[in-house]
Structure 1
C-alpha cells in the first residue's frame, strides 16, 4: 500500500500554517527516490547459497596448491588446528562477495587465485579473482565456475572498489537493501553521509569471528542493520528525515552563533579597522624581508627537485618493467628459434630419405625388366646365401647365375614403382616448401631478436642513467633541505610563525568588520529553526507509524527468539523484549532482566545465533525480513571455552541441521574436534590431523 504523502503534508501543514505554505511544507518533507515507499516488510523470498570455492597459490616453500571444495546447504564444518587455513577460506569468500579483503600480509604473498560460485534463488553467479599482479583483476559471471571459460563476464574489474560497488548493487537489488542516510553525531559540518550503511555492513550479519561473539552490535550501526534485516516499514524515510532535520538544526545553530557574535559598538568597529591597518603594515614589512625571499627561493628549488625525483622514479620503474618484458620476450624467441631449427633439420632429413628411396625405386624399375621383380637371395638347392657381387654381375651380364642362360627382357608392370617415385617426389617438394617457410620464419625471428637486443641494451643504459640521476637528485634535495633548515634556524623573530599568525589575524579581523557592517540590516532567521521543527515533527510521526505497524513483527520475532533460545539449551530464559525505539534486546530470566553484554560468555554466542536464526525463521515462516540465510562461524569455541559451552554449541548446530536443513547454510571453522560428531554427511566435513594445513 502506497504512503499517502499528500495527506501527511496536509497534517503537518496544519501545525505550521503560520510559518509555511502548503507547498513549502511539501518541499521540506519531500524525499527523493520515492523514499516513503522504499521500505516494505515483505520478504523477497531469496537466499544466498555458496556452492563452490577454489583457491590457488604458492606458499613460501614453493609448494603450489589448488583447493577445490563443493559447498552445501545445512551445517558444514572445517576442523583443523588454529592458523591452518580455516579463516583464509572464509575471508576469501568474504573478498569475493564484498570486494573487501581481510587477509594477513603473509597470506597475500602466496594466495594468487580465488573463484567462488554462489546462487541467489534460481540465479547462479561466479566471481573470479586474479591476485598475481600488483593490481586486482576480477570478473563476475552469470554461470557456474565450470562454464566461465566459455562465456563472457557480466563485468570485469581492475580494482577492489569497482568490484565492491558492483557486488553492493547486485545484493542491494536482489535482497531489496538500500543505503540509509545518516549524519554522524560528532560531524562538525552540515554535509550528509548518505551511503553510510553498505553491503559490507549487512555482510557483518553473515560472517562472525571469535572476537565478535561477545558483542551483538555490528559496529555502531546495529540498530540500522537490525531494521533493514527486519524490513520494517518507513525505515528509509525515518532516517532520511532525521538526517535532514540534523542538517537544518546544524545550519540554524551555526547561524545563531554567528549572529550572536555580531553585536559590536561603533568604537569597537573603529578599533578593528585600525587593527587591520596595523596588521597589513606588518605583513608588508615581513614580505620585504630578504631572508624570506632567500628561503622561498630554496623552497621552490626543493619542490622542483622533489617533482623531478618522482618523475624519474616513475620512469625508472616503467623502464625496469619494460626490461623484464623484453627479457621474457627474448627467452620466448629463443625457444621458437630452436623449434624452427629443429623443424628445418627434420625437413632436410626427410628430403634426403625420399631422394634415396627414389634411387632405390628406379633401380627396381630398371632391374625388373629382366628379372620380373624376382630377386634370388638364397640358393634354392643348398639354401646358402647368394653372394651380392654375383647378383650384381647377373644384372650387368644378363646371364642367369643359376642356369647360365641368357635372359631376355620381360614386359613387367612398373606402374607401382613409378607411383612410389611420384609420391616420394611429392614428399620432397612438400618438405622443401615447409623448410623454406620455416627458414623464412627463422630469419624473421632472428631479426626480431637482434632488434630486441639492441633495444634492450639502449633501455638498460637509460635505466642506469636514471639511477645516476636519482642519486644526484637525492644529493641535491639533501643539500637544499640542509640550507633551508639552517636559514630558518638563523632567521630572527621566527618569520614563518609570525607571517602565519598575521595572515590569520588579518582574515579574522576582515570577517569581524564585514559582519559588523551588516549588523544593522541583519535579523535572526527563525524560519530555518522552524524548518528543522517541521522535519522533526515528520520524523516523529513516521516513528509512531512504524512503531504501530511494526509491533506485530517485533512480537513475532520475540516469540521466535525465545523458542530458539530454549532449543539452543537456554531454558532459563523466560522472555525476550525488543525496544521498538532503539532496538536494544532485553533477555528476561525470571525477575532478572539483562542486556546482551550482561549474559555469560558461554551463552552469548548461542544468544547471537538465536537472533540471526530467528530472523531467518521469521522470513521462512512469516514471509518477513531479508536475512540472506547464510551464517559463517569462524572459531566459535575459542580456546577458553568450557565444556558446557561446547555442548551448547553442539546442540545449537544439531538444532539448525534438524529444523532448517536445506533452507539455510551454516559454515563452521573450528579447532575443537568434539564438534565433528554432529556432522553425519562426509561431503559436509573436512578434518585435518594435528599440525596439518587445510590446503
Structure 2
C-alpha cells in the first residue's frame, strides 16, 4: 500500500453521495500501476558529470595556398577519399560547386589533446571560425551520441575521437572512429584495482545506434528518469536527448528558460529542482490525458456515427415520400381482363376488314380515275370538232385583201376572176370546181374526203354547230355516268373505312386502357413492396438516430488517475515552492553579477515562467532582450545546479556548456564579469562549465592555463 494510493482512496471515498467511489489503497495502487504511474517518489541525488580528457585527430585537406599547407604533400583529386573529393574530379562529368577547389589538396594531419579541469574552462580565439565550436561539438558528440552540426569540411576531417568522462565515481571512455560524421566504436569503463586498471566494454555502436548506447548508459548512471508528456495525439517519452541538450546554452537558442525543448520546459525544471514526486506527477498527467484522448475519440466517433445516422434517416424519409408520391400518381381501378381480350380481338378483326376495304378503295379509286380520263378525252374531241367547223366556215368565207405572208394586195379583179380562172385570188392555186360551185374555196390538191366534209359543213350553215355537238352524245353521257358511279363507290368505301377505323380505334383504346391499368397494378405491387422496405429502414434509423458513445474508459480508472494527478500537483507544489523562492534569489544575484543590474525581483514559478522587474517595471522573461535573456538563462541553469549541490537534491549533473555568450551584445568587460562570477559559483558548488567565446582576453586573464585553450590573433584552436 503506497502513500499515494492511500491518499487517493481516502479522497474518492469522501466525495458527495452518489459520486463516492470506495476502493482500497491496494486497488488504487493496482490501477495506477496499470496506467504506468509510479507509486512512490524517488529521492533525487545529483551525480557529477565531468569531462577529464578529450582527444581527436584526423587530416585536414587544404588548398595549396593555405598558410597551414606549407611543407605538406599535395594529393591529386582522384586519390582523395570519396567524401573529400571535389565534385567532377573523377570524370563523372558533374560541374564543380561554386568556389570549390578542384585541383590537388595538401594533406595536413592534426591531433588535439586537452584535459579540462573542474570549475570554469575557457575556449577562445581572436577571430571567428578558428575551431572553438569544434571542441564543444566533439565534446557533445561523445556525450550524446549524436553528430552535431559541424561545418562540412571539419566533419570530413575528423577521423578518431576519444573523450574520458567522470560519472560519479566511474570513469568512462568514449572511443570511436569517424567517417564523414558516422561513428563506429565503443564505450569502456575503467576501474582501478590496486596498481592495475581494469577495463570493461559497456557498449558498442556502429552509426545510428550511437545515441541509443549513450542514452542507456548515461540515464542510469546519472539517475535521470524518463519524462513522459502528452503531445497532441499520443504519449511521448523524453529521455537522454532532451536532458543532454539542456546542458548547453547557446546564444541563438534562448527559449524556454530551462532546457532547449519548448514542450518540456516545465518538466525539465521540475526534474532539475529534484522534488520527489515530480516524475510521478508527469506520469499521472500523461496517463490522464491519454484517457481523456480516448474518451474524446469515442465521443467524436459517436457524434460522427450519429450524424451519419441522421443523414441516412433524412435520405430514408425522402425515399419513403418519393415512393408514396409514385403510388398516388398511378391510375385507380382494376383492369377487366375478359373485356380487354374481347376488345383486342374486335380491334384485330376490324383492322383486317379495314385492310380489305382499303384494297378495294385503291382499285375503285383507280377505276374512277380512268373513267374521268376517258370523259375528259371524249369532251376534248367533241370540242375540237366544233372548233374545226367554226374555223372552216370562218376561213372559207374570208375574202383577204392582202397576202398574209408578203402583204401584196389582193385586187378585186383577181377576186372576181376566181370563178372564171379557177384560181385562188391569194395564192393563185388551182381550185376544186365542184367545191367552188358549192361556194367553198378549196385547192384542187386537197383530198376528196376532206373536201366533201368542208362542203357539207359549209352547206349546212348555222345548223352545222348543233350537228357537231350532237355527233357523239351517247359516248360522253355514258362516260359521265361511269365517272359518277365510280366516285360514288369511292365515297362509299371511304365512309365505310372511316367508320371501321373509328370503331377499331375505340377497341384499341379500350385495350390500351386495360393494359395501362394492368401495368399500373403490377407497378403498384412493386412500389408497395419497396415502400414497406423503406418504411422499415426509416423506422430502424429513427430508433437509432441518437447512438450512444461507447466509453472505452473505465470511469473508476479515470477518477483514480485524475485524483492522483491533483494530489501529486499539491505535493509537488508544496515541496517545490520553497525551493523556487531560494532559486529565484540565486538567479537574481547571479544575473546582476553577470552585469545585468537593471533586473531585479525575480520569481520563477511552478510553470517554469519567470516574472521580474526591469528598472522597477514589471517584466517577463519573454519580454527581455536577447542579451538579457542570455544572462538570465545562464543564471537559471547555474542556480539549479547550485541548488542541487547545496541542498543535496536535484538531478542536474553539474555540467554546463556556454556557447558564444558574447555574441549577444555582451561587451568584453561584462564577459569578464560573468567569467569571474562563474568561477565564484564553481568554488561554491562542484560543477564544470565550458565557455567558448571570441573574446579571448578575459579567459587569458582570469583562467589558469590548464583551464583554457586560447588561439590569439589569427591562430587556430587546433
Give the TM-score range, shorter chain: 0.5 to 0.7
2:33 paired residue number: 30
**Larger CA deviation: 18-27 vs 198-207:** 18-27
2:487 paired residue number: none
Q: TM (normalized to structure 1)?
A: 0.58
Instruction: Give runs of ≥4 in structure 1 deviating > 6 Å.
Output: 147-150, 271-274, 515-518
* Aligned: 1:254 with 2:256: no
CA distance in 2, matches of 1:527, 1:154: 44
1:155 paired residue number: 203
Q: Secondary structure at the match of 1:15?
A: coil
| Contact 2:298–2:551, Cα closer than 8 Å, also in 1 | no
Cα offsets for 1:120-178 (capped at 9, x unmatched): 22211110011148953120111299x999845222112332x3223222222223211
CA distance in 2, matches of 1:272, 1:183: 46
1:600 to 614, 621, 625: 625
1:115 to 151, 158, 162: 162
Tell me the matched-pair count: 443
Shift of 1:680: 4.1
* Aligned: 1:199 with 2:240: yes
Q: Which has the higher strand share?
A: 2
| Contact 1:213–1:608, Cα closer than 8 Å, also in 2 | yes
| Contact 1:679–1:685, Cα closer than 8 Å, also in 2 | no
2:711 paired residue number: 688
Q: Secondary structure at the match of 2:175?
A: strand
CA distance in 1, matches of 2:304, 2:231: 26
| Contact 1:36–1:234, Cα closer than 8 Å, also in 2 | no
2:678 paired residue number: 656
1:6 paired residue number: 6
Matching of residues 404-483 of structure 1 within 5 Å: none
| Contact 2:219–2:240, Cα closer than 8 Å, also in 1 | yes
| Contact 2:660–2:693, Cα closer than 8 Å, also in 1 | yes
Q: Secondary structure at the match of 1:154?
A: strand
Matching of residues 609-624 of structure 1 within 5 Å: 609-624=634-649
Larger Rg: 2
Shift of 1:683: 1.8
Residues 72 and 273 (structure 1), Cα distance of their counterparts in 2 relative to 1, 3 Å cut? farther
* Larger relative contact order (Cα-Cα within 8 Å, sequence gap ≥ 6): 1
* Aligned: 1:72 with 2:72: no
1:95 to 141, 149, 155: 141
Shift of 1:76: 1.7
Residues 587 and 254 (structure 1), Cα distance of their counterparts in 2 relative to 1, 3 Å cut? same
CA distance in 2, matches of 1:271, 1:545: 59
* Aligned: 1:219 with 2:261: yes
CA distance in 2, matches of 1:641, 1:591: 22
Q: Which has the higher helix share?
A: 1
Cα offsets for 1:320-379 (capped at 9, x unmatched): xxxxxxxxxxxxxxxxxxxxxxxxxxxxxxxxxxxxxxxxxxxxxxxxxxxxxxxxxxxx
Residues 270 and 21 (structure 1), Cα distance of their counterparts in 2 relative to 1, 3 Å cut? farther
Shift of 1:104: 3.2
Residues 623 and 558 (structure 1), Cα distance of their counterparts in 2 relative to 1, 3 Å cut? same
CA distance in 2, matches of 1:248, 1:36: 19
Residues 235 and 215 (structure 1), Cα distance of their counterparts in 2 relative to 1, 3 Å cut? closer
Q: Secondary structure at the match of 1:36?
A: coil
Shift of 1:58: 0.9
| Contact 1:116–1:128, Cα closer than 8 Å, also in 2 | yes
1:332 paired residue number: none
CA distance in 2, matches of 1:255, 1:123: 51
| Contact 1:54–1:66, Cα closer than 8 Å, also in 2 | yes
* Aligned: 1:179 with 2:205: no
2:694 paired residue number: 671
Q: TM (normalized to structure 2)?
A: 0.56
Residues 600 and 83 (structure 1), Cα distance of their counterparts in 2 relative to 1, 3 Å cut? same
Matching of residues 26-425 of structure 1 within 5 Å: 27-30=30-33, 35-40=38-43, 42-44=44-46, 46-61=47-62, 62-80=107-125, 81-102=127-148, 103-132=150-179, 136-143=183-190, 151-161=199-209, 163-185=210-232, 187=233, 191-193=234-236, 195=237, 197-213=238-254, 216-217=257-258, 218-220=260-262, 221-263=264-306, 264=309
CA distance in 1, matches of 2:151, 2:244: 20
Shift of 1:249: 1.6
Q: Secondary structure at the match of 2:227?
A: coil
CA distance in 2, matches of 1:267, 1:70: 79
CA distance in 2, matches of 1:2, 1:684: 49
Shift of 1:655: 1.8
CA distance in 1, matches of 2:200, 2:682: 36
Residues 205 and 153 (structure 1), Cα distance of their counterparts in 2 relative to 1, 3 Å cut? same
Residues 192 and 619 (structure 1), Cα distance of their counterparts in 2 relative to 1, 3 Å cut? closer
CA distance in 2, matches of 1:666, 1:106: 28
1:507 paired residue number: none
Shift of 1:687: 2.2
1:422 paired residue number: none
| Contact 2:188–2:203, Cα closer than 8 Å, also in 1 | yes
CA distance in 2, matches of 1:133, 1:578: 43
CA distance in 2, matches of 1:152, 1:166: 15
| Contact 1:12–1:25, Cα closer than 8 Å, also in 2 | no
| Contact 1:85–1:693, Cα closer than 8 Å, also in 2 | yes
Shift of 1:522: 5.4
CA distance in 2, matches of 1:213, 1:77: 21
Residues 518 and 156 (structure 1), Cα distance of their counterparts in 2 relative to 1, 3 Å cut? farther
Query: Cα RMSD (Å) of the superposition?
Result: 3.5
Q: Secondary structure at the match of 1:668?
A: strand
